[in-house]
Amino acid sequence: MTLQVPEPTTLSAVQALCEVRDPYTRTPEVERLFIEAMRQNIAWHIENSDFYRQLAKQEGFTPDALMTMADLERVPFIHANFFKTHEIMSIPREQVALHLTSSGTTGQKSQMFFDAWSIGSGRRMVDFMHAHLGLVSSEPANYLLNSYEPLPDMALGTANTTMFLTKYAPPQRVTFALRSKGDGSHEFDPFGCVEALRSYAEEGLPVRIIGFPAFLYFTLQRYISLGYPKLTLHPESLVFVAGGWKGHANQEIKKADLYALIRDWLGIPDARIRSSFGSVEHSIPYIECAHHNLHAPIWSKVFVRDVKTLAVNDYAQAGFLQFVSPYITSVPAQGVLMGDLAKLHPGRSCGCGIETDYFEILGRAGTSTNKSCAAAAAELLK
């Protein structure tokens, strides 16, 4: 079944933009399509969401204000946290194909709703990116998934993403790091992970390790302390880091150090280790290039905004990370202001060949001082 926007005529540019296969070549045509798609997307949400209509009115913003790429910074932005406490939808409930919650550590969970188009086109972008980056293979691979063993009704966004990511090489065997205990909860299983690596190494197939970096790190630590020898996994093996250190933040090590551990103990080449960035509120994933930088694909425009004034920052100036993308039709999250601090860099300065801008994540924005109180309070607001 072909993927189609909810309204083919009024969202034609959105459809067309999301069908472009080359993720990283921003031609003038692509830019024109992007702007047209944004105008259509905004008109769509103004029409279908009372909230967004009011916001656009308050901001004095209309779609025809968007003429060039430079105008994109005027698109009203909505802070990701807003979705934690409100269900904002631009589609009727019957059209919700997927309802995802994020695994927030502050106890507050985002509620994001996706229609078939939004989730489908987002996933397709991931397909395009994997293909372009050479991460797709027809050869079977053994998977170690640093994620939650799925349960039938699990709505966690992360688990969903991980399962989806086994499609880029046919799965021979799949081992989950977080095993289901049968009562709805999960437990990290380091011995199981270590055994999986050992038997995968013996089998000799490419190994794909996907998911949270913390569990990969713990697995490697356990492997090392058990005294096993260094491995050299199949050269087509891949480590795909998705998600942050979250609740294990106090044990986080630098990315460079983790990569060095992986190269050293698993023998996986540097170019085959890729981290990614994504969030439920803005479900386009960003995948590291061969030089480990997160370039924006053509379906999204990345800004960094001053923490006080929210004006757009120059390159290399830290501020709030913001994404502008017209793909999403279910929720007016086309201009999401993230709770992360980041810096933007010009694509060329990376040297990998991709020319779209890339961003560097610096950490969460804001103080945790009152977060516990805030979290407790937020629970009561529901």
Binding site for another protein (CB under 8 A): 51, 54-55, 58, 78-79, 81-82, 86, 250, 307-308, 310, 318, 320, 337, 339, 341, 365-374, 376-378, 380-381
Residue closer to another protein by CB (options 236, 340) is 340
Residue closer to another protein by CB (options 54, 225) is 54
**Backbone φ and ψ of 154, nearest 5°:** -65, 125
The CA distance from 238 to 185, in Å, is 28
Q: Please name which of 108, 103, 58 lies closest in space to residue 83, comparing C-alpha atoms.
A: 108
Residue closer to another protein by CB (options 235, 363) is 363
Minimum distance, C-beta of residue 311 to another protein, in the bound complex (Å)? 11
Residue closer to another protein by CB (options 79, 291) is 79
- Rounded to the nearest 10 degrees, how much is the dihedral formed by the CA atoms of 244, 247, 249, 254? -30
Minimum distance, C-beta of residue 365 to another protein, in the bound complex (Å)? 4
Residue closer to another protein by CB (options 29, 50) is 50
Other CB atoms within 10 A of residue 286 CB: 22
Residue closer to another protein by CB (options 201, 341) is 341
Minimum distance, C-beta of residue 327 to another protein, in the bound complex (Å)? 21
Minimum distance, C-beta of residue 148 to another protein, in the bound complex (Å)? 22
Minimum distance, C-beta of residue 86 to another protein, in the bound complex (Å)? 7
Residue closer to another protein by CB (options 86, 167) is 86
- Rounded to the nearest 10 degrees, how much is the dihedral formed by the CA atoms of 368, 370, 371, 377? -170
Residue closer to another protein by CB (options 93, 308) is 308
Type of residue found at 293? N
- Greatest distance between any 2 Cα atoms in the chain: 64
Minimum distance, C-beta of residue 51 to another protein, in the bound complex (Å)? 6
Give 102's contacts (C-beta < 8 A, 6+ positions apart): 109, 110, 112, 156, 157, 158, 279, 280, 281
Minimum distance, C-beta of residue 103 to another protein, in the bound complex (Å)? 16
Minimum distance, C-beta of residue 374 to another protein, in the bound complex (Å)? 5
The CA distance from 255 to 239, in Å, is 13
